[in-house]
Amino acid sequence: MQYGGEEPMKINGFLKGLLMGFSIAAPVGPIGVLCIRRTLTQGRLTGLMSGLGAASADAVYGGIAGFGLTLVANFLVDHSIGLRIVGGIFLIYLGVKTALAKPVKTEATTTQMAGAYGSTFFLTLTNPGTILSFLAVFAGLGLVSATPSYLDAGILVLGIFLGSALWWLLLTGGVELLRETLSDRRLRWINSISGGIILSFGLIALGSLIPGALS
């Protein structure tokens, strides 16, 4: 009887993680812009690898919250300013690089796909708001106290990763449909606009550290 009661609980935790990962990944920010642009210029696989980098970082933060690693969470929150500075500078670099990129559709190499994965993984990890979002959602749903074992927490984190990955799979699949219709002129505009948006996110991230800058 105990086994039968535990199994639905694990499935329920997995579904909650799936929904959580999807909903946290879905809002379009700099990562979304990067994935869209890379899908258009380098193909769906590169865009998907970019999304999986973010999904992996979501899983890391979900694990910190789900396993109750308060020391790690407190460390990240205490060093949030430094993380935002690093993330903001990296966004500015990516924005300039994207805006100046040649408007050419190519298929990425393995090294480029690894770089796409690594860049979004790093960007997501340097966003302290991600860990705060997970902590708030976990607390709101009562998942911290409802996760009595490492197995249950692991199942929940797996759901978070797959939910986030599902969003990036759907996004890159939809964007791929537009890829063949783009001319070099349109790609040039996409690079310029995407670079400008990413650059703006970086400037906002740094500007938010200045008291009264955004008030």
pLDDT at 56: 94
pLDDT at 4: 45
pLDDT at 103: 66
Contact 95, 177 (CB under 8 A): no
pLDDT at 200: 86
pLDDT at 117: 95
Tell how many helices (H) and how many strands (E) occur in the chain: 9, 0
pLDDT at 155: 85
For the chain, what are the domain ranges? 2-207
pLDDT at 50: 93
The two three-digit tokens of residue 42, written as one number: 């380098």
Give per-10-residue mean pLDDT for the chain (215 aa).
Answer: 49 80 81 88 89 91 74 70 82 85 72 90 80 66 57 84 93 85 75 84 78 49
DSSP 147: -
pLDDT at 167: 93
